[in-house]
Amino acid sequence: MPLIDRRVLKHFDWTLFVIVLMLEGLGLVTVLSASYVASANRLDPLFVRQLVWIGVGTLLMLGALWFDYRALVTYSYPLYAIVLLLLIAVEVIGHSTGGSRRWINLRLFKLEPSELAKIAIVFVMVRYFRLEPPPGGWGFRHLIIPCILLGVPAALVLKQPDLGTGVVLVLITATLLVASGLNWRVMAGLALAGMLAAPLSWHYLKPYQRARLESFIDPQADPLGSGYHIIQSEIAIGGGGSWGKGYMKGTQARLNFLPEETTDFIFAVYAEEFGLAGSLLLLGLYASLIGRGLWIARHARDRFGSLLAIGITGMIFWQVAINMMMTTGMLPVVGIPLPLVSYGGSSLFTTMAGMGILMSVNARRHTF
């Protein structure tokens, strides 16, 4: 038996592959710009590491393409259990930075298990809802196990603390609940319960999280403190104008006004240098990627593959939406990377593996 089924290679998804490479390319040049130091005579280590991670991520994507996605019926729960163990390990041996304990130092790079939790949630939710719903849709009693599957990793992630990833886990689950056939009365009840519970959650937020929510309402109330991130990001994006200031000519990142310029706020760096025109290009690529994911979901040959494609596409969509709305001041700052563009190995590996699974679903609709 050949290592890779020739039929899979024959139906290789070049459209998705090119979109992913273009996004990575834009991310790579932006990371280089954000980390560039004119006085240095060598490439910044961040850029070199990102380049290496893109190479490794591409191998992961091709490996996921080779992997038959239908086998995830068997492996979803074991993979989920491994991620839970990693999240627990963070509490014991995790590396702390900026008041958060989110990483495990593996010498070669720092693993962020909360990133792996995003795709693990997709796997187990799709595994649970892979069968057709009963007449009328999934009811409240069918949600007990999914709530447990979501609650355990979400609680561990929020304890780090990582509010942004916790929100994404909830949104991914909500997306799959709706797509899998949730009863509309249950859907309305959950939405009402969420709205009623939102004010109560205020008492469980960390002080810095409360400050970020307050600064979202009025950033100028504390311009040098909790409102600093939003203000500087808006200055960078607005300063880009229609065509941008030019590559490596953005002042906010160059003069170190913009915080987390290679990760959470990399879109602000990009928008300042490439302007509205460049931002529309980036949005167009993301729209193409999300549209391709939904197309794959629609044309999948089985319900499991369709839900898997919806879950992975939803994972990308929610991260892009939250990150861009956060950097433009439309949402509070919660710390979400921009998929395939932000610096970071764990986020890139997770996203690339997801892209490979999408390609696997698409390729194997021809091989049944």
Question: What is the domain partition of the chain in residue ranges?
Answer: 6-364
Give residue 343's Cα distance to chain centre.
Answer: 12
List the strands of the sheet with 95-97, edge to edge. 95-97, 100-105, 110-111
Average pLDDT over residues 133-139: 89
30 contacts 278 by C-beta, under 8 angstroms:
no
Distance separating alpha carbons of residues 76 and 346, to the nearest angstrom: 19
Residue 210 has pLDDT above 90, yes or no: no
Residue 1 has pLDDT above 60, yes or no: no
- pLDDT recorded at residue 24: 96
Among 247, 248, 252, 255, smallest CA distance to 277 is for: 247
Distance separating alpha carbons of residues 140 and 186, to the nearest angstrom: 6
Q: Is the dihedral of CA 338, 344, 350, 352 positive or negative?
A: positive
Average pLDDT over residues 41-51: 83
Distance separating alpha carbons of residues 188 and 199, to the nearest angstrom: 18
What's the pLDDT band for 3 if we cut at 50, 70, 90? very low
Separation in Å, CA 26 to CA 119, 162, 188, 324: 24, 26, 40, 15
Average pLDDT over residues 23-31: 95
Helix axis angle for 72-93 and 303-327, nearest 10°, is 40
Name the more confident of 335 and 156.
156
What lies within 8 Å, CB to CB, of 194 at 6+ separation is none
276-294, pLDDT tens digit by residue?
999 999 999 999 999 999 9
Distance separating alpha carbons of residues 271 and 278, to the nearest angstrom: 7
Mean pLDDT lowest for which of 98-112, 193-207, 276-290, 309-323? 193-207
Average pLDDT over residues 214-228: 74
Element (DSSP H or E) covering residue 157: helix 144-158
Name the more confident of 226 and 94.
94
62-76, pLDDT tens digit by residue?
999 998 999 999 999
246-271, pLDDT tens digit by residue?
998 888 877 778 888 899 999 999 99
Give the alpha-carbon dihedral of 35, 37, 40, 42, to 10 degrees: 30
Burial tier of 78 (Cβ tally within 10 Å: 0-12, 13-18, 19+):
exposed
Name the more confident of 203 and 45.
45
What lies within 8 Å, CB to CB, of 145 at 6+ separation is 128
Count the residues in the chain: 368
Element (DSSP H or E) covering residue 97: strand 95-97
281-283-286 Cα angle (round to 5): 110
Average pLDDT over residues 213-229: 74
Average pLDDT over residues 40-46: 74
Average pLDDT over residues 200-210: 73
